[in-house]
Amino acid sequence: MNRLVVCRQGRRVFGWSYVPGGGAPQTVELIRGDEVLGRRLANLTLANKNNFLSNAEQSRLAFEFLVRPDDLRLGGSQLSIRVVENGETRPVPVPKNPHLGTIQEFHVDFVDLNTFGGWSWDPETPDVPTNVNLIVPSTGGDRTTYSILIVANYFRADQAGNGFANGNCGFHLHWPTTLPIAARSKAILRCGAIQHDLGKKYRTLTLAAGISLPRSIVSL
């Protein structure tokens, strides 16, 4: 019986295809409906921690494709991996992010009392660093009392292989000196249609450290 494991990390679709017990490497296709988007021999060696593959199974039995952003849009035809030799087919895991109907990515990895960082990627400009906005909204309104533009072009080796702006998709910054300390607890980080409540994470840190923030923001 053939074994076919299909995974996805960003634009990178990869997996393993083989017949337990040996045999020649199999050929796999990345397909969308009846359209063949790519074809590869499953003869790569890729480590995997999530599918309980043995060292022997991981060796020279893997494949990978770098998918175009348009091919991963939500609402489009299902992408699948098909084994040429026997026709076995498994779907590619679809994006879980519903924003903009695409695989837009925006993640905050850490926040501390001095710095914050993460990474972002826009499928409309897949090879270009994105812009991230650090904002503080006004109390009781839609106005913004503070805004600063951040270019997410810090190199991230962990994302380079997943097709995110050639790895130039990260940000790692100190809290701006122009932003009063009291305003940090109200800060929002926004990229496109996605935003993160940076202030909530900061408030959690200050409570844990026993730090008392001013009750009001004197100036911005």
The pLDDT tens digits along the chain (220 residues) read: 788 989 887 778 899 998 877 778 899 999 988 899 999 999 888 766 555 556 656 678 889 998 887 776 656 678 899 999 999 999 988 765 555 455 678 899 999 889 999 999 887 777 888 999 999 987 655 566 788 999 999 999 888 877 787 889 999 999 999 888 888 989 999 988 788 999 988 888 776 555 555 444 444 4
Same domain as 107, residue 148:
yes
CATH number of residue 39's parent domain: 2.60.40
What domain range is 178 assigned to? 99-209
Whole-number pLDDT of residue 101: 52
Q: Is residue 162 part of a domain?
A: yes
Same domain as 86, residue 10:
yes
Same domain as 173, residue 107:
yes
Same domain as 59, residue 103:
no
d(CA 73, CA 102): 5
- Sheet containing strand 12-18, edge to edge, reads 3-9, 12-18, 62-66
Whole-number pLDDT of residue 217: 43
Predicted TM-score of the model (pTM): 0.62
Same domain as 59, residue 135:
no
Whole-number pLDDT of residue 67: 84
Whole-number pLDDT of residue 69: 73
Final residue in a domain of this structure, among 91, 126, 152: 91
Whole-number pLDDT of residue 189: 93
- In DSSP notation, 55-89 reads HHHHTT-EEEEE--GGGG-TTSPPEEEEETTT--E
d(CA 83, CA 214): 62
Same domain as 132, residue 84:
no
Final residue in a domain of this structure, among 62, 91, 120: 91
Same domain as 172, residue 75:
no
Q: What does the pLDDT look like over 106-154, one tens digit per residue?
A: 899 999 889 999 999 887 777 888 999 999 987 655 566 788 999 999 9
Same domain as 108, residue 133:
yes
Same domain as 26, residue 56:
yes
Whole-number pLDDT of residue 141: 54
Q: Is residue 220 part of a domain?
A: no
Same domain as 143, residue 127:
yes
Same domain as 109, residue 25:
no
Number of domains in the chain: 2
Dmax over Cα atoms in the chain, in whole Å? 72
Q: Is residue 175 part of a domain?
A: yes
136 forms beta bridges with 146
Same domain as 111, residue 70:
no
